[in-house]
Amino acid sequence: MATGIISDIQRTVVGKAAVDTQFIRGGIQTLNALNISTLQSIPSDLRHASTVVHVVGTFHKYIKTDTADGEWGNVDNWVALATVNDTGNTIESANVDADGKLTIVLAGGVSVNAGTITGVQGEQGEPGAPGVSITNVSETNGIITFTNSLNQTFTTSDLRGQNGSDGSGVTVRDSLTVNAINALPAQGLTSGDMYIATTTGTINGQSTVVGDGIVWTGASFANVGAIRGPQGTQGNQGIQGIQGPPGSNGSNGSNGSNGTNGAAATVAVGTVSTLAAGNNATVTNAGTAAAAVFNFGIPRGATGAAGSGGSGGGGTLTTSFTTGRAIGGVSTGTTFTAGTTLQSILQDMFAAPYVAPTVNAITSGYLKNGGSTLSTSITKNYGQSITFDRVHWSTSGATGTAKATILSADDETPSLSVTLNDSSSPATFSSKTIKMPYSGFASSDHTMAVKLASTKGNNTTGTTRTVCTVTYRTPKLFGTSTSNVSSPTSGLLNGLSEVELDTNKPMSFTGTSATGNPSNYIYFAYPAFYGAVTSLTVGTNPANQINGVTQIASSYNWTYNSTSITMRVYKFNNPGVVLSGKAVAIG
């Protein structure tokens, strides 16, 4: 049975379905005869199952899969294809054009496009000319210049970023224990305040050792690591002494026995103190010649001019540098790269923990009036005052002398501000009498504090100490009247009984023999800053009977202990509602 030539030619395309033919692997080989020699002359990479060859107008197809010479050269393995295609039309010619397209012409002049024939890969072409390469890159003021192998150049724009804002500085306030730092009140701190830790422990979840700097960020403390100053310069050489007269030659002594090896000399860093600006740096040996302990005094630098804007205040090098000599723990030739922090450089220079000097500071205080000492915690009734004419204080620390500077109070009348500037306790002044006005009260704040500000022995601001706290109790009133009023009067409040003096809103009272009378209206009052009544019970009934009372004034000004106080005033709606012995609870 004849085999369709068009289908067979298309199926010679490797990896393609007949309808997807784009090329015929190796093309159709044309042979002058079909014999072993002509077949075996076909290269092995063009041999495959179903290969089609053209022999003098006739097409033959290989029907085996083995493409070795023995099977490939056997003409019995090649089947002559019919000269008609699947539809019965006779093939008159086949042609491959310049683009590699195979066109088969059938009888009747019908042309069939059999796909593109890909020939054998050609030889590799000559190497192309070398490409252009970059030979040099340079930078000036953020502009980068590139030079290529053709000596052509091109430049970029300025690639530097904008200047960063000025970094925030720190102010060394004190040297304190970890517990003392943790106990500092946030309201007395300023962002940038630094305290040097004198003990180990934990601050804000961060492990802390002696010499660490603890900085208040405005919201919490941050450990910035060990704080050490730079090494001081070498002191001047002493004057040479006068040469003495030569001594007479002594007789030669006998050779002594070899001594034992001496102990190795040691050098350690002792204290590092900050001196006032303008002083010369100092270095003293507090140890011995064999075990030196050097104490450094480093002058504070003069205030520099404001910079034009840093790179963000990170305290890091902007360029790399290499040391030209040995400094402390840093050897000659050490390179510090850009981005290295100042802290790490100082830690390399001084391989010893920083021991902060103990600065004299005020630690506590109290008030006196004449010869009487006022307690540091006093309870007073609303409108009462305290009087004092001197303040005493205690100090600790060896360096310098602390000074008491200002004595002041909060929530007081009249205003208190006494300038002291005294370095020895006590400080005396004209007698002061103050009390807490109504404006200073809140529902949970009934205290007036007298405070002592100071400077430490190194002239830095010391911690403000509270030397006296006064807690005030306020009046609560209850009583009856035959008058049914819709707004209070001073006479009404003056006629009520004082139930209690306390520092919170809840109050309770018990009906008297005058209550329960149908003609008696029951009134109660308390300071307005506690807010409105939210609950009211009578007797053993647990139900809230707040609807049984009416507020007749939310802010009535009344005088108590010669001091104005604003009161809320309530009236029971029905007279005689509280019987004698009935308990009333208000919240």
pLDDT of residue 306: 47
The mean per-residue pLDDT over the stretch 488-496 comes to: 87
pLDDT of residue 539: 75
The mean per-residue pLDDT over the stretch 257-273 comes to: 74
| Residue 360 CA to its chain's centroid (Å) | 34
The mean per-residue pLDDT over the stretch 459-485 comes to: 88
Fold of 361-471: Immunoglobulin-like (2.60.40)
**520 pLDDT above the threshold of 70:** yes
**476 pLDDT above the threshold of 60:** yes
Instruction: Give 5 or 289, the one with higher predicted confidence.
Output: 289
The mean per-residue pLDDT over the stretch 476-498 comes to: 85
pLDDT tens column, 149-201: 888 898 988 888 877 776 668 888 889 998 988 888 887 788 888 999 999 99
* Residue type at 537 in one-letter notation: T
The mean per-residue pLDDT over the stretch 386-410 comes to: 89
SS3 107: coil
The mean per-residue pLDDT over the stretch 135-148 comes to: 89
Question: Is the preceding peptide bond at 414 cis, omega within 30 degrees of 0?
Answer: yes
pLDDT of residue 264: 67
Instruction: Return the beta strands (E) in 51-142 as ranges.
Output: 52-55, 58-62, 78-80, 91-96, 101-106, 111-116, 134-140
Q: Classify 268 in phi/psi space as left (phi over 0), alpha (psi -120 to 50) or beta.
A: beta
The 3-state secondary structure of 364-422, one letter per residue: EEEEEECCEECCCEEEEECCCEEEEEEEEEEEECCECCCEEEEEEEECCECCCEEEEEE
DSSP string, 525-546: EEEGGG-----EEETT--S--G
pLDDT of residue 569: 92
pLDDT of residue 56: 79
Most confident of 28-42, 93-107, 277-291, 364-378: 364-378
Give the span between the Cα atoms of 35 and 26, in whole angstroms: 20
pLDDT of residue 499: 73
Give the pTM: 0.41
Sheet holding 153-155, edge to edge: 134-140, 143-148, 153-155
pLDDT of residue 107: 64
The mean per-residue pLDDT over the stretch 548-570 comes to: 90
Report the percent of the chain where pLDDT is more than 70: 80
SS3 571: strand
The mean per-residue pLDDT over the stretch 478-503 comes to: 82
Tokens for 238?
């002493």
Give the span between the Cα atoms of 382 and 148, in whole angstroms: 90
pLDDT of residue 328: 67
**310 pLDDT above the threshold of 60:** no
The mean per-residue pLDDT over the stretch 347-367 comes to: 73
Report the percent of the chain where pLDDT is more than 90: 17
| CA-wise closest residue to 279 among 237, 328, 233, 326 | 233
**562 pLDDT above the threshold of 70:** yes
CA distances (Å), origin 358, targets 196, 231, 440, 516:
10, 20, 39, 72
Contact (CB, 8 A) for 266 and 289: no
In DSSP terms, 387 is beta-bridged to 433
pLDDT of residue 100: 66
**Least confident span in 109-118, 247-256, 453-462:** 109-118
**84 pLDDT above the threshold of 60:** no
Instruction: Give 480 or 452, the one with higher predicted confidence.
Output: 452
Mean pLDDT for all residues in the chain: 79
The mean per-residue pLDDT over the stretch 244-272 comes to: 76
pLDDT of residue 468: 95
Q: How confident is the model at residue 433 (pLDDT cuts 50, 70, 90)?
A: very high
Q: How confident is the model at residue 14 (pLDDT cuts 50, 70, 90)?
A: very low
pLDDT of residue 356: 54
pLDDT of residue 375: 94
Q: How confident is the model at residue 323 (pLDDT cuts 50, 70, 90)?
A: confident
**333 pLDDT above the threshold of 60:** yes
pLDDT of residue 579: 61
Q: How confident is the model at residue 361 (pLDDT cuts 50, 70, 90)?
A: confident
The 3-state secondary structure of 217-232, one letter per residue: CCCCEEEEEECCCCCC
* DSSP 8-state class, residue 442: B
pLDDT of residue 516: 65
pLDDT tens column, 232-246: 678 777 777 777 788
| Residues ≥6 apart with Cβ < 8 Å to 245 | none
pLDDT of residue 313: 40
Domain map (residue ranges) of the chain: 5-116, 168-227+333-356, 361-471, 474-586
**59 pLDDT above the threshold of 60:** yes
